[in-house]
A and B are shown apart, each in its own frame.
Chain A
Amino acid sequence: MRLDTVTAEIRPRSDWESVDLGFAMVRRDFWRCFAVWWLALALPTVLAGYFLWDYPTVFLMLFWWCKPVGSRMVLFEISRRLFGEQPSWRAMWREIPRAWYRRFFYRFVWARFSPWLPVTLAVEDLEGLRGKQFKQRCSQILRRGESAVMWVYFASEVGAAWVTFSILALVHMLIPDGQDSAWRLALESWNSDSPADIPLLILRTFGICMMLAISLTDIFVIGAGFGIYINNRTWIEGWDIELAFKRMAQRLTKAVILSVILLVLGAPAGAGAAETKTPAELIKEVKANPDFKVHTVTERVYDQKPSSGTPFWLAGIGVTMAKIFAVCAVTLLVGLIGWLFWKYRHVLGMRGTLAKGVDAKPSARVVMGMEVSNTSLPDDIPTAVWSLWQQGRQQEALALLYRGSISRVIEIGRVQIQESDTEGDCMRRVESVGQAVYPAYFRSITAAWTRLAYSGVSAGDAEVHTLCQQWPFGEEGKR
């Protein structure tokens, strides 16, 4: 990996901006991505299509199941392209079998439904980590942008169906009137007595559109996941700073060499060169600089002819169709969004409960996926933390310490902490309340916790011990 040949602007971004960068990366190489995606899946698709021609549902499920193969190929392409290298078609070809069998059981069976796939795939394929290391690295990378990844993933699964309808509608729009008799016949033969008995023609058309839709959405989802991955590494490894320093070093080295050359050649030579130019030439030279280019904008005003106006019936049809559509869409959307929220909260809660034996009460308050209600915490937090620390469970110890201090801060100082707050938000809120909640102490805890959580740098024994001893939050902590 060479940072100086990178082909995208490296800077620390917000989660959604990094998703957008991923989209932009895919857009730049869209046709290549599309081609490699299908390159990996074309042969099996054709074979399966031949044998399963009469079982489109089974075929479609198999196709969906094998989607990660295409994802891997897209990742292979855009990751190399980001660092200024364009993989040859031969290299792509050789990558295909690896995309099929690399960690087959994990990727295609165990974690096939994993909503973190767009990011974990990057850890698996690009860093080549396995087992415990892989897990640790994934949880570290997912510290930033986890919710974005999950939204993107769910949106892609729903989006694939959505795009399918879009393609179907487009095709239908483009078919000349009266040429769709086969489709009409098929629709008519689909009677309401046995709705599960869908005519083969409809299934096949639907299947082909869906295959296209799956490939299109998947390409962009992988781009988004890769964007998040790159953004996180930029944050925790300071890529942008490294790059800036590299460029500075280049500039400074160049400046040194230039001054040495000038010294060697002697100043008179330089002065002589300048004197041979007439003022007119000098002016020309200066004005040749692109900064002096005069930009003009020509605006043309056309004669306005009385137009026939937009056909109002178009809008009329629009409104009636919107009416029918909206009724379906509202019901669908309400259900969908409800489901998404439920799913999303559930998973976040699962991941966040670091301490064992926590009884998850519905009234529990959760900050950054960690429970902070009083009942979920031990009575004597510092002692509990120190014993956890001595057992070597550092992550749990610091999480408990942080959780505990947030809980106390909410209780004692009535600090208004929202469930969606980040560490930075919590810090600001605590500081705005003032000395009653010991902002200095809270700051040092936050620093220790974020260092461990975001960059995996653990605090020293002495630091944790001091933190435990200094625990300032009232008697209920030292009971």
Chain B
Amino acid sequence: MAETDQLDTLQSVELADGVEIRLRMAGPMLRVGAYLIDFLIRALILVIVAFAIGFAGIAIGAKVAQGFILLAWFLMDWLYPVVFEAGKRGATPGKRALGLRVVQSTGSPITLGQAVVRNFLRFIDSMPLFTYGFGVTGCLASKRFQRLGDLAAGTVVIYDRMPQMPLIAMPPPIAAVPLSVGLTATETRALVLFRERAGLWSDGRRAEIADQAAVLTGDTGAGGVNRLMAMAHWVQEKRNEH
């Protein structure tokens, strides 16, 4: 089965002890949104700081105040994302608001050095003329939605929050039928999900899906559906009793 060249938005990472985790790569849309939120936050802070320094300017002189404002601007521009992304949550407020997070491409939290590389390269990504043309192009052109800064630092942006999945199960079946053959983990999962999502499908569609598993159930149509439900019931609740 040629599953490796299948297009996907997930990336599997195998950890040292053979455990496989899946990172859910985040594309440009939400990331631009997060950037805009951060931009507003930064602008707001700067306006407040500028006002404060401006008032202080009466005492320290207009030129000095101007210098301080420019300094604040500079720090805000270059350090704001670094500080937040190198922190515990690995995300700026904007990213957090939209459920994003920056991690290494191995899935572990990013280091200070990576945060610095990734954010200082914004200078390149934001070209030409601060439109972020390079960044967005890189993001859309690379397999893991990485902009140039991400590629250089070896980081990826992932979805951090799992959305609620609407599951509507069928009423529990009366019988529990043990599986006649051993199933792989993926197949067992599909069986359980069949039961848990069956409430979302029409009767006809349910039977259509169940027909695909006729080898397992030895029945088609409504009979197949019932038998699959009973098997799922057994897998979920009865299997561990023995």
Contacts and interface: CB of A to CB of B under 8 A. Distances in A.
Interface residues of B, number: 66
A244 B7 contact: no
B183 interface: yes
Contacts of A378: none
B177 interface: no
Interface in B133-190: 133, 140-141, 143, 145, 159, 163-166, 168, 181, 183-184, 186-187, 189-190
Interface stretch (B51-59, B81-89, B106-114, B205-213): B205-213
Contacts of A425: 164
A40 to B, nearest CB: 22
B194 to A, nearest CB: 5
Given A169-B129, A322-B130, A323-B73, A422 B164 contact: yes
Given A12-B165, A423-B166, A457 B202 contact: yes
Contacts of B233: none
B77 to A, nearest CB: 6
Nearest to B8: A9
Contacts of B141: 27, 30
Contact of A235 (B10, B25, B164, B200): B200
A115 B25 CA distance: 26
A450 interface: yes
B221 interface: no
B117 interface: no
B26 A25 contact: no
B203 to A, nearest CB: 8
A16 B26 contact: yes
Interface of A: 6-9, 12-17, 19-21, 23-25, 27-28, 30, 148, 151-152, 155, 162-163, 165-167, 169-170, 172-173, 220, 224, 235-238, 240-242, 244-249, 251-253, 255-256, 314-315, 318-319, 321-323, 325-326, 329-330, 333-334, 337, 422-425, 428, 447, 450-451, 454-457
Given A16-B27, A155-B29, A321-B129, 16 more contacts: A14-B159, A166-B129, A167-B133, A169-B131, A237-B205, A238-B197, A238-B205, A241-B193, A245-B194, A248-B215, A314-B123, A319-B77, A323-B73, A329-B39, A451-B168, A455-B201
Interface of B: 1, 3, 5-10, 24-30, 32-33, 36, 39-40, 43, 70, 73-74, 77, 123, 127-133, 140-141, 143, 145, 159, 163-166, 168, 181, 183-184, 186-187, 189-190, 193-194, 197, 199-202, 205, 208-210, 212-216
